[in-house]
Amino acid sequence: MTHPFLIFQWLEGQFHSHLGNHVTYAWLVMAILILVSFLASRSIKMVPGAVQNLMEAVVSGIDGLLEDTMGKEGKAYFPLIATFALFILVSNLFALIPGFYPPTANLNTNVALALTVFVMTHIVGLRKHGLAYVKHFMGPILWLSPLIFVIEIIGHIARPLSLSLRLFGNMYGHEVVLMIFIGLVPFLLPVPMMLMGVLIAFIQTFVFTLLAMIYMAGALEEAH
Amino acid sequence: MEFFAWCVMAAGIGMGIGSFGTGIGQGLAIKSAVEGVARNPGASGKILTTMMIGLAMIESLAIYVFVVSMIILFANPFVDTATKLTIAEMVAR
B48 CB within 8 Å of a chain A CB: no
A99 or B7: which leads in pLDDT = B7
B5-B9-B15 Cα angle (round to 5): 150
Distances (CA, A) of B69 to A103, A122, B18, B60: 21, 33, 11, 14
B74 CB within 8 Å of a chain A CB: yes
Q: What is the pLDDT of residue A4?
A: 65
User: Which positions in chain A touch B67 (Cβ < 8 Å)?
Assistant: 165, 168-169, 172
Q: What is the pLDDT of residue A198?
A: 92
Number of domains in chain A: 1
User: Which positions in chain A touch B64 (Cβ < 8 Å)?
Assistant: 165, 169
Most confident range (mean pLDDT) of A62-71, A86-95, A104-113, B18-27 is B18-27
Residues A172, B70: C-beta atoms closer than 8 Å: yes
* A1 located within any domain: no
At residue A141, what is the residue type? I
Spatial distance between the Cα atoms of A202 and A109, rounded to a whole number of angstroms: 18
* A140 located within any domain: yes
Backbone angles phi, psi at A141, to 5 degrees: -95, 130
Strand stretches in chain B, DSSP E: none
Spatial distance between the Cα atoms of A101 and A3, rounded to a whole number of angstroms: 9
- Whether the per-residue pLDDT at A135 is higher than 80: the answer is no
Q: What percent of chain A has pLDDT over 90?
A: 21
Question: Which range is least confidently modeled, A5-9, A36-40, A65-69, A70-74?
Answer: A5-9
pLDDT band, very low/low/confident/very high, at B74 (cuts 50, 70, 90): confident
Q: What is the pLDDT of residue A11?
A: 66
Q: Is the dihedral of CA B46, B51, B52, B58 positive or negative?
A: positive
Spatial distance between the Cα atoms of A174 and A197, rounded to a whole number of angstroms: 7
* A212 located within any domain: yes
Distances (CA, A) of B22 to A79, A162, A197, B27: 34, 16, 19, 8
pLDDT band, very low/low/confident/very high, at A167 (cuts 50, 70, 90): very high
* A2 located within any domain: no
Spatial distance between the Cα atoms of A72 and A117, rounded to a whole number of angstroms: 20
Write the DSSP string, A145-204: HHHHHHHHHHHHHHHHHHHHHHHHHHHHHHHHHHHHHHHH-TTTTHHHHHHHHHHHHHHH
**Angular region, A130: left φ>0, alpha ψ -120 to 50, beta rest:** left
* A123 located within any domain: yes
This prediction's pTM: 0.85
Q: What is the pLDDT of residue A3?
A: 61
Q: Which of A5, A163, A20 is nearest to A97 (CA)?
A: A5
Q: What is the pLDDT of residue A223?
A: 66
* A36 located within any domain: yes
Tell me the shortest Cα–Cα distance from A49 to chain B, in angstroms.
Answer: 29
> Which residue pairs from B10-13 have beta carbons closer than 8 angstroms and sit at least 24 positions apart in sequence?
B10/B69, B10/B72, B11/B69, B11/B70, B11/B72, B11/B73, B12/B69
* A191 located within any domain: yes
Report pLDDT digits (tens) over B9-67. 999 999 999 999 999 999 999 999 999 999 999 988 889 888 988 998 898 899 999 98
Question: Which range is least confidently modeled, A25-29, A71-75, B74-78, B83-87?
Answer: A71-75
Pick from A165, A176, A210: which is nearest to B63 by CB? Answer: A165
* A70 located within any domain: yes
Q: Domain containing A109: what range?
A: 7-220
Cβ A127 vs Cβ A87: under 8 Å? no
Q: What is the pLDDT of residue A2?
A: 57
Question: Which range is least confidently modeled, A20-29, A84-93, A130-139?
Answer: A130-139
Evaluate whether ipTM surpasses 0.90: no
Spatial distance between the Cα atoms of A119 and A163, rounded to a whole number of angstroms: 13
Tell me the shortest Cα–Cα distance from B71 to chain A, in angstroms.
Answer: 11
Q: What is the pLDDT of residue A16?
A: 66
